[in-house]
Amino acid sequence: EPEVTQTPSHQVTQMGQEVILRCVPISNHLYFYWYRQILGQKVEFLVSFYNNEISEKSEIFDDQFSVERPDGSNFTLKIRSTKLEDSAMYFCASSVGGTGANVLTFGAGSRLTVL
Amino acid sequence: AQSVTQLGSHVSVSEGALVLLRCNYSSSVPPYLFWYVQYPNQGLQLLLKYTTGATLVKGINGFEAEFKKSETSFHLTKPSAHMSDAAEYFCAVSDYGAAGNKLTFGGGTRVLVKP
């Protein structure tokens, strides 16, 4: 069964450092997403991406965050200057279409720890 | 704005007993509703979804959920718990804007199955 692959599974970084989290979505999917889950809190939407541009973003997704699809397979989330509060599990997801009925397939997550 | 409330962050059931996980939502439009499961060190896996049509929805692993519009609920049930059902379960509602499928998640319910 097709799956969404995320790397790294766990990254530890110092506050102020740049971090790039990588995702390989399912090959025939057109919509890509990042969500995050701070320990003990809800899974939160960060951003959706379609046709090489951001289609929607949350208030969490400020100027410190950026997304990119650098080639035909990877989808990346960059945090420019990490803060302690960026420590969370980050989930990448993809879907075939963009309507509410379309199912998101999630990756296993990348755990980011900011010290 | 949409929201999802899951009653009970932890549920403990005996093997073979009924599993009942409660989910209530608020949405200004007819919702699309989802249940996802997260096993340890894995991503979010779709259990089932409600979009339109029959309000009783069957999913994988013997789970089902019933959409009750009058109660704004989408409770998840399984008649007989198995040890392998130990996981965290997330209810989610979809914002079906054309820009992408943004899910709003509940806080999750962790299920412990006792032998």
Report pLDDT digits (tens) over A76-91.
999 999 999 999 999 9
Confidence of residue B27 (pLDDT cuts 50, 70, 90): confident
- Whether the per-residue pLDDT at A101 is higher than 70: the answer is no
DSSP A10-65: EEEE-TT--EEEEEE--TT--EEEEEEE-TTS-EEEEEEEETTEEEEE-TT--TTE
Taking the CA of residue B22 and the nearest CA in chain A, the distance in Å comes to 16
A73: pLDDT confidence band, cut at 50, 70 and 90? confident
Distance CA B81, CA B86 (A): 9
- Chain centroid, CA A86 distance in Å: 12
Residue B53's pLDDT is 86
The mean of the pLDDT values for chain B is: 91
The phi, psi pair for A17, rounded to 5°, reads -80, 155
Rg (C-alpha) for chain B, rounded Å, is 14
DSSP code of B75? E
Where is pLDDT greater, at B100 or B11? Answer: B11
CB contact under 8 A, A98 and B41: no
Across the range A26-55, mean pLDDT stands at 92
Check residues A99 and A51 and name the one with the higher pLDDT. Answer: A51
Q: Would you say the C-alpha torsion B12, B44, A47, B26 has a positive or negative sign?
A: negative
Contact B100 A41 (CB under 8 A): no
Predicted local distance difference test score (pLDDT) of residue A11: 97
Residue B100 pLDDT class (50, 70, 90 cuts): low
- Chain B partners of A23 at a C-beta cutoff of 8 Å? none
Average pLDDT of every residue of chain A: 92
Please report the pLDDT score of residue B99 as a whole number: 54
Token code pair at residue B53: 């049509």
Beta bridge partners of A65: A79
What does the alpha-carbon distance between residue B45 and residue A84 come to, in Å, rounded to a whole number?
Answer: 29
List the 72-101 stretch of B: residues with Cβ below 8 A of A: 90, 92, 94-101
Q: What is the mean pLDDT of residues A9-36?
A: 95
Region of A70 please: left (phi>0), alpha (psi -120 to 50) or beta: alpha
